[in-house]
Amino acid sequence: MPTPSSQAFCASSIIGTGSYMPEKVLTNDDLSKIVDTSDEWITTRTGIRERRIAAEDQATSDMAAEAARRALADAGISAEEVNLIVVATVTPDMFFPSTACFVQKKIGATNAVCFDISAACSGFLYALQVARHFINTGNRSTALVIGAEKLSSLINWQDRNTCVLFGDGAGAVVIRRAEEETDAPGRVLSTVMGSDGNLADLLKVPGGGSACPITAENALSRPNTIHMEGRETFKHAVTRMCQASEQALEMAGLKKEDITLIIPHQANLRIIQAIADRLGLPHDKAFINLDKYGNTSAATIPVALDEANRAGRLKRGDILLLVAFGGGFTWASSVVRW
């Protein structure tokens, strides 16, 4: 893990945010017509009331590109000024080329180097840190960091324990090296990342890769859909997110009391509330939109950040805590001074 001194000269700032959510709304009542569940069952256990579902002909890169365009407009820069695109996703358009290359083509970012990151729901914060390193070393100056998912393509609609949780969408930020290191708005102060492959079986899509290709013999068992051990995932998620949050605050030289707003991964309301409780913060300090969108994996944090930004929730000087967990098992947290 990086020491505080190793991050002392970091000066990358978020200068624009954007998001895109598909038009189709799938409510809990809609789900109750296709699987044994109810609005009351889903809402009390997760806090989710509805989610967005991408159109059949809409790929992850389509949503990512639209979120990117909106982030560029918010930043007031052109696509040609971007020289790095990092897309965090577990639902790429295809195994290769990278989804980032498709985004590059769609938005006209002709000067960008492009690649994807796979860290499940932690992917956006992983991608943010990777882009930050490129910028802070002087290798790149302006980056698009995108979290985008079409999780509906991985859902088993007969599994009521998982199909109620997930949705589709995309969020993006533009980050740039700050000219004034000590007073740059949107400055990313610190980032913590962690992984534990021993917990890989808690949350996974076992089929579709080289370990378990989809065949005529196994297709009916739907191995290319999301499998999750809910209780164990919950326990480890809360523990790791709290640890990462405390480490990121320490790196930034801040205390829990300095936090203006928590923007957590939107997986489950109980997880979000448990994190706030362990950090000793009121629940209303956590930004929540999972009631509208469910869990959109790598897209949850950039979408929530954009919504908070456009709703006027963020003021200059606010301290934001971004924190996530995901399959892998992965976790990450960042502190941003708006």
Q: Does the annotation mark 224 as catalytic?
A: no
CA-closest candidate to residue 272, choices 71, 121, 164: 121
Q: Can you tell me the distance from the alpha carbon of 25 to that of 27, in angstroms, rounded to the nearest whole number? A: 6
Across 83-104, average pLDDT: 98
| The model's pTM | 0.95
pLDDT, averaged across the chain = 94
Conformational region of residue 208, where left means phi above 0, alpha means psi within -120 to 50, and beta covers everything else: left
Cα-Cα-Cα-Cα dihedral sign, residues 75, 79, 81, 86: positive
pLDDT for 185 equals: 82
Across 107-116, average pLDDT: 98
Instruction: Pick the catalytic residue from 28, 83, 265, 309.
Output: 265
Q: Does the annotation mark 139 as catalytic?
A: no
pLDDT for 230 equals: 87
Kindly report, residue by residue over 238-279, the tens digit of the pLDDT: 999 999 999 999 999 999 999 999 999 999 999 999 999 999
pLDDT for 183 equals: 66
Q: Is the pLDDT of residue 131 over 70?
A: yes
Instruction: Pick the catalytic residue from 83, 224, 295, 309.
Output: 295
Q: How many Cα atoms within 13 Å fall on the side-chain side of residue 178?
A: 20
Per DSSP, the three-state class of 87 is strand
Instruction: Pick the catalytic residue from 101, 121, 163, 242.
Output: 121
Kindly report, residue by residue over 136-167, the tens digit of the pLDDT: 888 899 999 999 999 999 999 999 999 999 99
Q: Is the pLDDT of residue 7 over 80?
A: no
pLDDT for 285 equals: 97
Q: Which domains does the chain have, with CATH numbers?
A: 4-177 (3.40.47.10), 187-337 (3.40.47.10)
Across 168-184, average pLDDT: 84
Q: Does the annotation mark 163 as catalytic?
A: no
Tokens 């971007």 belong to residue: 82
